[in-house]
Amino acid sequence: MSEIVNRVAQSKLLTFDLEDYYPAGKRVLLDIKEWLYEEIILKEKDFRAHVANHDWEQYSDAYVALYCSTEAIIPGWAYMLVSTKLQPYAKKVVLGSLEDLETTLFQAIIEDLDISDFKDKPVIIKGCSNKPVPPNAYLWATIKLQPVAKSIMYGEACSSVPLFKRK
């Protein structure tokens, strides 16, 4: 009987797991509809009063997605005003959904990533995640790794999809 050999463990294949780069911290979706007259009209004086009286400390060290869930037309300055109050507390503020927030976070992380360890190596970008990794992050990781990696695959080592191989 021959010995069972784990060829995956012996390979030089490096796993790139986007979940490893997921920034820890509270995510908050801040809906400004309550600060509008009948949740649809922005009256500047009333809006400014809501902004002035809001408890901004609750966003300390949080990632904040700022939006309005109604069909109201919100002038750009309103979101800018809210961001001035969030700035001293929040780690990051974006206009949009929680997915927009995650996308923005991952874009910055991937852009700043040192990928020198992946130079001339076969790389597999891990496909499944327990954390909300946005789809764009997989594209950006591929684009970031392609100039340095020997090859890029997607999935798991036991069942990967080849994406790129340097000639």
Burial 123-162 (b: 16+ CB within 10 A, else e): bbbbbeeeeebbeebbebbbebbeebbbbbbbeeeeebee
Is the CA virtual torsion 5, 10, 14, 16 positive or negative? positive
Under 8 Å between Cβ of 156 and 126:
yes
pLDDT of residue 11: 62
71 Ramachandran zone, left/alpha/beta (phi>0; psi -120 to 50): alpha
**Which pLDDT score, from 0 to 100, does residue 7 have?**
47
Q: What is the pLDDT of residues 15-36, one digit of tens each?
A: 999 999 999 999 999 999 999 9
> In the structure encoding, which two tokens stand for residue 110, read together?
């991937």
At residue 167, the pLDDT reads: 87
Query: Which of 5, 16, 30 has the alpha carbon at shortest distance from 129?
Result: 16
pLDDT tens readout for residues 33-72: 999 999 999 999 999 999 999 999 999 999 999 999 999 9
The domain limits of the chain are 7-23+104-165, 26-90
Say what the pTM is: 0.83
Instruction: Report CA 154 to chain centroid distance, whole Å.
Output: 19
Q: Which residues, including other chains, have CB under 8 Å from residue 107's CB and lie 6 or more apart?
A: 136, 137, 140
